[in-house]
Structure 1
Amino acid sequence: MAETPRDTRIEDLLRSLAPQVLGVLARKHGQFDACEDAVQEALIEASIQWPAVVPDNPKAWLIAVATRRLIDAWRSDNARRAREERVAAMEVDLSSSSASEADDTLTLMFLCCHPALSAPSQLALTLRAVGGLTTAEIASAFLVPEATMGQRISRAKQGIQKAGGKFSMPPADERKARLGVVLHVLYLIFNEGYAASSGPSLQREELTTEAIRLTRLVLGAAPGELEAGGLLALMLLTDSRRAARALPDGTPVPLAEQDRSLWNPGQIEEGIALLSSVLGRGAPGPYQLQAAIAALHAEASSDAETDWRQIVALYTVLEAVAPSPVVTLNRAVAVAMVDGPEAGLELLGGLDSALGRSHRLDAVRGHLLDMAGSPAEARAAYLAAAKKTGSLQERRYLMGKVARLSND
């Protein structure tokens, strides 16, 4: 059954409140592992009850339910009865300012990026606790089975507890060491919102908006971090295309075919200004390079006027700075625009082992084969991509490509 607009609003509200509630509980009671479990149980309870009646103070409701879950969990341990009584007597202060909530969210992000955890575990846990993504969504972002991701998240929570992680901002030097993971998490949250891995919608505005908000918080707390500025610029420039990325029925519109008059000029102006303020102040990092690529698209009045040679050059630098199969995939598209589709297809040759589970490789291969005048091969690639994607709108778009090539 499709979600109603009310269901979607409730889901968005729960997603925005989850890190705030977890921050309150973790700050007051410690034990991140138990607090995160309690908040998840409260969210499940809310998803059942709120479609009928949303409470007047949703945040207070979630805090109260999660606190009761904590008490229930502690009640079974006789050695903790005294602490249970103290917790039960505590009143939750809901008068905290937005600045306090912002501090809680930042602290929560840095706690999830505890150095006792591996980088993949840091990413997964932060996506769950701060980004509000489900285990299935996180598994899709990492291209691993959902059960594997569930185990990873569970171990990560236990790892923080064993390491004695506390709900407080780490010292400045340790905070700087964790910043890279925090930025990567925000990047993944934004990507999941910009191109939803599953569900009926092509994009999820609540995730892109939240990622931009959180990145602003990080940049505000660390204004001299060039990559934080580069990431925010990248998000703004990319999100500026949101209104043009889909038709009214949700069908995706490729970048080359988008109505650029629908792009958000305010976001483009802010993104380019921010990028200009960080570029040239040191060797550019991957987020600055990606933002520079997005800026070239934003500054072109049409696809034909895009400086594809400069984009190829930037992707070449990006591949040297931060090599990854996805960067190579994107460079292949840019190379095809400069040197022809055959040159782009040649770059795809070694990506199947790394991106074989993702629909994107097959979709790009189909696009380049279509450009090269190989309709049968393009049709097969588009069909393979349609079978792999979890996005209903992407699947419909890809099956439209299959139908067109079948009729040609």
Structure 2
Amino acid sequence: MAKVVLEHIYKQYPSDNKPTIQDFHLEIHDKEFLVIVGPSGCGKSTTLRMIAGLEEISDGTVSIDDRTMNHVEPKDRNIAMVFQNHALYPHMTVYENIAFGLKMKKMDEKEIDQRVRHAAQMLDMESYLDQRPKTLSGGQHQRVALGRAMVREPELFLLDEPLSNLDATLRVHMRTEIRKLHQRLGTTTIYVTHDQTEAMTMGDRVVVMKDGVIQQVAIPNELYHHPANLFVARFMGSPTMNVLDGILSEEDGLLFFIAEGARWKIPAEKASSLREKGYIGKSIILGFRPEALQDEPESPSRPNTFKAEIEMMEHTGSEMTLYLKGVGRGGMTARVKSPSEYRLGSQLTLSVKMDQVYIFDKETEEAVV
């Protein structure tokens, strides 16, 4: 197994004005399943390729178990990598595909056979060993690629968006299979994806990246409930977080968030922190998850309300997502139970659970409360 340390890693291509990766600094624990997530072009795959030795590091140090790897050839790093494109050999059987790397190393035939059959058993592919890739499903292709990596018995697994080419149902199934495999093998694993659901369901810890910079590193629950900034808050969660620009106003000792169509009271605990940090009278960004909205009549006990019109509805079984207009320039989403009385174009009065709101600095977009 392996501990991986990336110390102030930079990647600068000659044709670019700024680094693709900037000051990536992180320790990945032995046996950890770490997920790197972010939008396309954020540098997550480039980071993985630098760990593998497939990309040269412009500055900084990559070490595995206290051994510096910057100038070690990929083949000498004891790493196994699985890509989005599984690249199976079509003329070879499943057995031959899994065994190929070991045969290239001229390993003993008996040892190869033991490793291949053990991997096939763990991946439930024993009955497919004599078949060729063209007869297999997408999920089975993925398992063969994993088996080919497993038999090498590496210190480190690197997986670069391995499920992107699978359909939605199979993707969910393979997420579970990969996690089960990690639990059995205990091999340190770094997994790259653009899918925040994959990141939240698979990672022991998650690294969120944007424009080559780490935004936050945390366990999934912390990312969702305690985002470091507005980007993390909106990227992690589906549907995305609702946000409003407004001003903090103090009236009779109480603090209110004022925006177009909204005058909402800030809870005492949050208000105290905002006062201490000097945000009274300043512009801020207020965010809240779709589930922080309640469809309830306006009343003295529900002062933080607003009116909205239903523009679109998405049924998801026991719940429904409502896309609303009426507050905020970009509209809002609400996650509610799924009764039949909701109709397109109908007017709702909704209340915001103010104890569940997030407040961000207007200039820096960093979390304030």
TM-score, normalisation: structure 1: 0.26
More helix by share: 1
Higher strand residue share: 2
Which has the higher relative contact order, 1 or 2, with Cα contacts under 8 A spaced 6 or more apart?
Answer: 2
TM-score norm. by structure 2 comes to: 0.28
